[in-house]
Amino acid sequence: MSGKTVWVATRKGTFKVEKSAGPWHAALVGHSGIGVNYVARDPKTNRLWALLGHGHWGAKLSISDDDGATWRDNPAQVKYPEGARYIGQDMYEDAASEFGVGWKTTIRNATLLKLWVISFGDNGSIWIGTIPGGLFESRDGGASFELNRPLWNHESRGGDLFNGDGTGETKWFGTPASEGGEFAPGIHSIAIDPRNPKRLLIAISTAGVLETSDGGNTWRSRNKGMTMDHNPDPEAEWGHDPHVIELCRSSPDHVWQQNHAGVFYSDNGAENWRKVSAPSEGVHFGFPVTVDANNGKVAWLVPGRSDAQRMAIDGGLFVARTDDGGASWRQLRKGLPQESAYDVVYRHALDNNDDLVAFGSTTGNLYLSEDRGESWTAVSHNLPPIYAVRFG
């Protein structure tokens, strides 16, 4: 069933979920005991790519050419080049301060803290988003990866720190999602335009959305219409906290964003965003969003209770779907637990493929729908914490 396999990245390994004879079944196929942040198939080569976070041994790219039966480290790993630096913000103890702490910016040497997302262009390009905010590209099928310097040196980030100290000011902040606890920016979304593989939208926690239309040579912000509730200027150009973005494959100008500050939708390629949260339907806070490949107005979310709680709303788990570009939402609950459920679903842990929709939670529950979310079955309640769910 090409494309109907579900790949599940968890804190303790990679699982392959299939329906061959009987119900959907999850099998551990690789990386036992190792954190897997993301796993996805390159549709051009059929190669599977897993983004690992070893507790002791650092972040590694792992590949499989036999449908997950065997895995090996990719010979080329993602490494920050010598001289890659960025401006970080640090709190430090300061006895002279009335608060006991000071806040300062420092220039840090960049090393790979986390592999977070991988995306594949129709021209064979492979893009990887990382913490501390580097975007890496391979133009040779994964034989080598290179830091995208125009983005790394972008003025919003403080300019070129390879050659000097830049502007001294960054508009990129951080995410606590790095492995090892360092607070640094992270690229978690890479949306490639199927009409033009040189056009990409990326999303960064915490900065916002940027776009290139020339294969990464130049980048511009795409945050118009976005609002924040964690900044004195809610419409500032930078400082946004996209949790994930995804575009529609058949109509790529339709782009969806689940943000810390609500749900946003664009029907003009992220030139302008419109807030489509519906708090009365529970649609506001959450991490994932996925878009129907054939209809850009159709999207699914798994809402959570507020940034202060981050769990299922009132103990009942539901998926929200819109069929009209966010004008209205339906809560899809059939088959999902409606009491004593406290699941949270991470940004990459919801995906769709035709009528199939699947999501997994950090409490190890994996749910799947064969009717676009109208009803759900539990594939497993006992997986490790789930980080990503991808059809492929």
Partner 1 sequence: MVQVQLTRHLFAFFPQLEGQTLEVEATDVAGVVRALEARAPGLGFYLCDERGRLRPHVNIFIGNALIRDRRQLSDAVKAGDKVSILQALSGG
Residue placing its CB nearer to partner 1 in the complex, 57 or 99: 57
In the complex, least distance from residue 22 CB atom to partner 1, rounded to whole angstroms: 33
Q: Per the structure block, which two tokens stand in for 268? A: 């003009």
Determine the Cα–Cα distance for residues 285 and 82; give it in Å rounded to an integer: 39
Cα 161 to Cα 168, 202, 242, 260: the distances in Å are 9, 21, 25, 30
CA-wise closest residue to 270 among 257, 284, 279, 283 = 257
In the complex, least distance from residue 103 CB atom to partner 1, rounded to whole angstroms: 24
Neighbour tally for 282: CB within 10 Å:
21
In the complex, least distance from residue 114 CB atom to partner 1, rounded to whole angstroms: 13
Determine the Cα–Cα distance for residues 206 and 83; give it in Å rounded to an integer: 23
Residue placing its CB nearer to partner 1 in the complex, 82 or 93: 82
φ, ψ of residue 138 in degrees (nearest 5): -120, 130
Residue 309 DSSP class? H
Residue placing its CB nearer to partner 1 in the complex, 187 or 201: 187
Residue placing its CB nearer to partner 1 in the complex, 161 or 299: 161
Residues 371, 38, 265: CA angle, nearest 5 degrees: 55
In the complex, least distance from residue 343 CB atom to partner 1, rounded to whole angstroms: 25
Point out which residues bind partner 1 (CB under 8 A).
54-58, 60, 73, 75, 77, 79-80, 82, 109, 111-112, 180
Determine the Cα–Cα distance for residues 360 and 346; give it in Å rounded to an integer: 8
Determine the Cα–Cα distance for residues 289 and 348; give it in Å rounded to an integer: 8
In the complex, least distance from residue 328 CB atom to partner 1, rounded to whole angstroms: 48
Residue placing its CB nearer to partner 1 in the complex, 83 or 234: 83
In the complex, least distance from residue 372 CB atom to partner 1, rounded to whole angstroms: 41
Are 68 and 83 a contacting pair, CB within 8 Å?
Answer: no
Residue placing its CB nearer to partner 1 in the complex, 147 or 386: 147
